Structures are given as structure tokens and as C-alpha cells.
């Protein structure tokens, strides 16, 4: 049951991010990309604007893959499948800190993100997902 709750919470939060990316990418809410100064800069070049929107929609699509796969696991998976799905989520979410977090920290330090300090906020949010899934896994085994 605890694994189900963690999966449901993640799916709901990520669905919000998907909706923002598809329908309001200019937002600063959730994963809206307007926090990046470069998002506004690309508006001046039609080719770059199209590329930037393509990438935002691509990220949204990848998030949808995660959501739908987790829903399949939630609805049809046995306990073993759910355990391994949570382990996979922990590992895949943790990869954020390998490549993405260093880049966003650098952009933040160069004042290319508004609001300043967003990299810390995003890092805390990602850490929260890791903590949620790790705690759910630990509680499942306890």
C-alpha cells in the first residue's frame, strides 16, 4: 500500500508538470521553462523557438511515458513489480544530480535563471521525490 501511495503522488505531481509543459511552457510554475532567460531569448529566432518548444514537448512526452508505465505497474503489477518499479524510480530520478543539476547550478550562478536560487528549489524538489520513494521502500520492508 505504501508503494502505491508513493507512485500515485509522483504521477499526480508529474501530470501537473506535463500539463504545464504542453499548455503553458512559458510558465514559471512546476517545470515551466520560463525560469530560464534563454527561453525568452529564443523567441527572437523562429528556428530556435521551434527547437525550444520541441524540447519542452519532448520532456513532457518522456514524463508521460513514466506516468503511464507507473500506472500500468500500479494497476496490474504484483508486489515484486512495484518494489522494482520504485527502485527504478529512485535510480532514474537520482540521475538528475549527475548531469542536469550541475548545469542548472551553473546557469543560476551566471544569473541566467529567474528567480535566483531556482536550482536549489529544483534540487530540493528532486531530493523530495528521492526521499519519498526511498522512505516508501524502507517502510514497505519494515
The secondary structure of 76-112, three-state, reads HCCHHHHHHHHHHHHHHHHHHHCCHHHHHHHHHHCCC
Distance from C-alpha of 85 to C-alpha of 133, rounded to nearest angstrom = 10
Sign of CA dihedral 27, 28, 32, 34: positive
Average pLDDT over residues 30-42: 89
The count of structural domains within the chain is: 1
Q: In whole angstroms, how large is the CA radius of gyration of the chain? A: 17
Question: Residue 55 has which C-alpha cell?
Answer: 524540447
Structural contact between residues 30 and 17, judged by C-beta atoms closer than 8 angstroms: yes
- What per-residue confidence (pLDDT) applies to 107? 95
pLDDT tens readout for residues 128-142: 999 999 999 999 999
Name residue, grid cell 527547437: 51
pTM for the whole structure:
0.88
Domain span including residue 74? 2-141
Residue matched to cell numbers 524502507:
138
Specify which residues 113 forms β-bridges with: 36
How many percent of the chain have pLDDT more than 90? Answer: 87
Amino acid at each position: 500500500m505504501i508503494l502505491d501511495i508513493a507512485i500515485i503522488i509522483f504521477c499526480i505531481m508529474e501530470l501537473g508538470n506535463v500539463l504545464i509543459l504542453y499548455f503553458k511552457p512559458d510558465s514559471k510554475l512546476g517545470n515551466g521553462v520560463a525560469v530560464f532567460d534563454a527561453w525568452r531569448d529564443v523567441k527572437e529566432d523562429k528556428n530556435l523557438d521551434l527547437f525550444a518548444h520541441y524540447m519542452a514537448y519532448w520532456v513532457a512526452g518522456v514524463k508521460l511515458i513514466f506516468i503511464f508505465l507507473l500506472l500500468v505497474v500500479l494497476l496490474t503489477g504484483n508486489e515484486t513489480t512495484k518494489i522494482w518499479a520504485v527502485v527504478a524510480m529512485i535510480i532514474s530520478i537520482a540521475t538528475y544530480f549527475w548531469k542536469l543539476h550541475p548545469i542548472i547550478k551553473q546557469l543560476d550562478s551566471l544569473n541566467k535563471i529567474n528567480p535566483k536560487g531556482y536550482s536549489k528549489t529544483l534540487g530540493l524538489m528532486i531530493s523530495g521525490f528521492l526521499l519519498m520513494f526511498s522512505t516508501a521502500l524502507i517502510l514497505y520492508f519494515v
